[in-house]
């Protein structure tokens, strides 16, 4: 990276620009946190005005009235299997697209990409009726299965492209040692692609955690809802309680921020290794 060719450039102005952009990314988060501990009257006093005391009761209101406890558990119940199964499927299907020949390979690939292009809003109504027919409405299953299905195209393409960049010699060596295909996949390919897998995991986690439309439509029972629905809950037809709403938003994003901060090193490594030819 040190060799990207601008090492002779002046440092200070660039550094200012960089940190300016860094600031721009965090200020809204800071203001969000600040608003979440204000009273409704404080909100009108200006964004940077501090409240007299931190109104943590906003969090209590969001947590209890918004039933965040239940929603949090539901989000976890849905996200974990979605991420895990999508990765497994992505690795297996990606393996096929990277190394194997099979009939209609190109057509199947085209069909998979549809899933990335067509917005969910476009097919949510037929999906609802289909799920109803399969008796899956109002279950965890419907949230898990549909979101796995939505993740398959990206997971497949992502894993396939990462596998294509592995040096063929390694695979050949393994095959010459007498390894079967599942063995090559599990013992050679997957360990080599660990960073790419963790990148994929993080992306799937973010997308699934933030998914709004599917749980909104496919689940009617309050006890099965996920967090993002809770986040927008405090909007009445005519009333809105900004501090409680922002407190709810903080509760929803906190887990993703934590996961991101823990995994971000690995994750960016994954991006990097995926792109290396």
**Residues 252-271 within binding reach of other proteins (CB under 8 A):** 252-253, 256-257, 260-261, 264-265, 268, 271
10 Å CB burial of residue 198 (0-12, 13-18, 19+) is middle
Q: How far is the CB of 220 from other proteins (least distance, A)?
A: 5
CB nearer to other proteins: pick between 11 and 53: 11
Does residue 161 belong to the site contacting other proteins (CB under 8 A)? yes
10 Å CB burial of residue 166 (0-12, 13-18, 19+) is middle
Q: Which of 63, 72, 217, 266 binds other proteins (CB under 8 A)?
A: 217
Q: Which of 60, 73, 80, 118 binds other proteins (CB under 8 A)?
A: 118
3-state helix, strand, coil in the chain (%, to 5): 75, 0, 25
Which residues, other chains included, contact 4 with Cβ-Cβ below 8 Å and sequence gap of 6+? none
Q: Token match 């993002």: residue? A: 228
Q: How far is the CB of 144 from other proteins (least distance, A)?
A: 10
Q: How far is the CB of 202 from other proteins (least distance, A)?
A: 8
Structure tokens at 93: 């299907």
Q: Report the distance separating Cα 69 and Cα 63, nearest Å.
A: 7
Q: Which of 148, 193, 197, 201 binds other proteins (CB under 8 A)?
A: 148
Q: Which of 127, 139, 190, 266 binds other proteins (CB under 8 A)?
A: 127
∠ CA 253-257-259, nearest 5°, is: 120
Does residue 2 belong to the site contacting other proteins (CB under 8 A)? yes
DSSP state of 235: B
CB nearer to other proteins: pick between 53 and 106: 106
Site for other proteins in 57-76 (CB under 8 A): 61, 65
């Amino acid at each position: 990276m040190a060799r990207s060719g601008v090492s002779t450039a002046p440092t200070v102005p660039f550094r200012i620009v960089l940190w300016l952009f860094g600031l721009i990314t965090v200020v809204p988060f800071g203001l969000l946190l600040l608003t979440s501990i204000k009273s409704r009257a404080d909100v009108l006093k200006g964004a940077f005005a501090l409240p007299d005391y931190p109104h943590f009761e906003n969090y209590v209101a969001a947590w209890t009235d918004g039933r965040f406890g239940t929603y949090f558990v539901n989000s976890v119940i849905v996200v974990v299997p979605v991420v895990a199964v999508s990765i497994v499927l992505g690795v297996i299907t990606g393996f096929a697209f990277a190394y194997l020949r099979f009939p209609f390979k190109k057509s199947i690939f085209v069909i998979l990409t549809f899933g990335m292009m067509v917005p969910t809003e476009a097919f949510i109504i037929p999906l609802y009726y289909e799920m109803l027919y399969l008796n899956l409405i109002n279950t965890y299953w419907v949230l898990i299965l549909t979101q796995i299905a939505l993740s398959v195209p990206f997971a497949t393409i992502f894993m396939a492209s990462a596998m294509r960049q592995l040096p063929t010699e390694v695979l050949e060596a393994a095959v010459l040692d007498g390894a079967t295909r599942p063995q090559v996949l599990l013992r050679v390919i997957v360990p080599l692609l660990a960073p790419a897998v963790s990148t994929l995991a993080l992306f799937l986690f973010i997308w699934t955690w933030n998914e709004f439309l599917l749980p909104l439509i496919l689940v009617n029972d309050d006890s099965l809802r996920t967090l993002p629905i809770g986040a927008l809950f405090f909007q009445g037809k005519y009333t809105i309680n900004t501090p409680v709403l922002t407190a709810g938003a903080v509760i929803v994003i906190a887990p993703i921020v934590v996961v991101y901060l823990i995994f971000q090193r690995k994750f960016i490594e994954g991006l990097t290794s995926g792109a290396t030819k």
